[in-house]
Amino acid sequence: MLGQGFVSAAAIAASVLFILSLGGLSNQEKAKRAVWYGIVGMAVAVFFTAFGPGIGAYWLMIPMILIGSAIGWVVAKRVAMTEMPQLVAALHSFVGLAAVFVAWSADLERMRVAAAKAAGASMEGFSAFAALVATKAPDELTFLQIEVVFAIFIGAVTFTGSVVAFGKLAGKVDGKPRQLPGGHKLNAGAAALSLLLAILYLNGAGFWTLLVLAALSFFIGWHLIMGIGGADMPVVVSMLNSYSGWAAAAIGFTLSNDLLIVTGALVGSSGAILSYIMCKAMNRNFVSVILGGFGGSKGPAAEIEGEQVAIDAAGVASSLNNADSVIIVPGYGMAVAQAQNAVSELVRKLRAAGKEVRFAIHPVAGRLPGHMNVLLAEARVPYDIVMEMDEINDDFPSTDVAIVIGSNDIVNPAAQEDPNSPIAGMPVLEVWKSRVVFVCKRGQGTGYSGIENPLFFKENTRMLYGDARESIDSLLSHID
């Protein structure tokens, strides 16, 4: 058993490591080291918490840690990079559900202590948390109950919301926005009832209020995320990440665990900031997105004229061989086809021929922030040719060839040209301003978000249909 001094010191050390980890993840070159900071920080946190004062039942805890670690290892090894967004959503759901269970347990312990005190019974044999509760003054117990309410509400919303987000990202749930009759009024009504139940609970109504509160919160999380379309799922995943952090922080206050408070606050605040940045990059209203797309559609989208003109790999290679400058725009289609290594080889051959090749990365490319950056880093693409949208967008007019690999919304000119488009006003990569654009795409569908793209019908656009990896492999054989 470790003393409280060791545990407090470990909490400070783990908190510093978590901060270093978050800071390092903002830079591709430092990201790998930053991940290790997070791993070590979590290992320190788990070890010193598990063996701190007042902790017992190791016969149950240690097997659970080992089993959970083994499951996590197997899942992480099996999950492909394309499935990482839904894995993140699934992990958020675990945090939310854990917060609900801990909050329920905390209130049951509070009631058990109150009953023991009323009966004049000894506190011997009670848990360390119960002993802590027994020392609290009435006003402190009220704050404990408030923390329990917050943990249950946020945790339950996070759980069911994350389950729905997982389903939509994995294709197991329809990506279109769907709500029950009444729409946002149902969410508002459930939220109002939740507030009423919280007031009743704080005035001594009993444990049943927490059970009903959790049920209502489960409904809100489910209905809220069901009402958000697939195009907004990257923001939703980021926001649910924030919710899971605040749920953890609330439980940290309940358990008087400083490390859980710090960690939850870091996750909660960083997730909220990232969600805001992503909404700005998509010209989405932050509050509108997190409330289930409140506001509705703007009107019928503009009709698209023309036709999609196909081209083969030999035709694309001919243009590339004659080009001096090339910009590649990767999207989720590249991830699905696992074409990043073939793309990396294409870049190597083009650069060896003396051509300027760069990547243009939109802030919400893929289904998770940084999705494309990770794939390109995995394929050993040099960091210095991977450019953010603001750095490279002005260069398209002077570019000979733009290659779009599995992207749709982030290169859609309707964002600028059609005020009724669902993505109107969204900053996009202006690939159509290049001399010629080649779009690598499976077929003529509208993609995950279901939004038609006028880029595919422009006179300077040619469509290279087929699996992205197979198309790029075929293209490689024609490059000089």
Q: Note the pLDDT tens digit of each residue in 238-268.
A: 888 899 999 999 999 988 888 889 999 999 9
Both 272 and 369 in one domain: the answer is no
Average pLDDT, integer, range 33-56:
87
163 vs 280: CA distance, rounded Å:
25
Q: What is the residue type of 266?
A: L
CATH number at residue 443: 3.40.50.1220
Give the type of residue at 323: A
What pTM did the predictor assign?
0.81
**Residues known to be catalytic:** 409
The mean pLDDT value of the chain amounts to: 86
Partnered with residue 356 across adjacent β-strands are 325
Closest CA to 332 of 460, 234, 196: 234
Q: Which two tokens stand for residue 247?
A: 């749920």
Work out whether the CA dihedral 377, 382, 383, 388 comes out positive or negative.
negative
Give the number of domains in the chain.
Answer: 3
Angle at 73 between CA 70 and CA 79, to 5 degrees: 135
Residues 278-287 pLDDT 10s:
787 777 777 7
Confirm whether 104 is domain-assigned. Answer: yes
Q: Answer yes or no: do 455 and 348 share one domain.
A: yes
Statement to judge: residues 68 and 101 lie in one domain: no
Q: Give pLDDT tens digits for 81-108.
A: 667 778 888 888 999 999 999 999 999 9
Angle at CA 131, nearest 5°, toward 127 and 132?
115
Nearest to 162 by CA among 75, 100, 105, 73: 100
Lowest-confidence range among 203-207, 301-305, 422-426, 445-449?
445-449
| Structural domain range at position 58 | 1-78
The total number of residues written for the chain in this structure? 480
Beta strands (DSSP E) in 263-349 are 325-330
Q: How many CB atoms lie within 10 A of CB 462?
A: 19
Which amino acid would we find at residue 76? A
- 44 Cβ contact partners less than 8 Å away, ≥ 6 residues apart: 10, 13, 14, 17
Same domain for 67 and 121, yes or no, is no
User: Quick one: how far is CA 301 from the chain centroid?
Assistant: 29
Phi, psi dihedrals of residue 442, rounded to the nearest 5° = -65, -40
Structure confidence at residue 289 (pLDDT): 67
Question: Which residue has better confidence, 369 or 42?
Answer: 42
109 plus 139 within the same structural domain: yes
Is the pLDDT confidence value at 305 over 70?
yes
| Domain termination site, one of 78, 100, 117 | 78
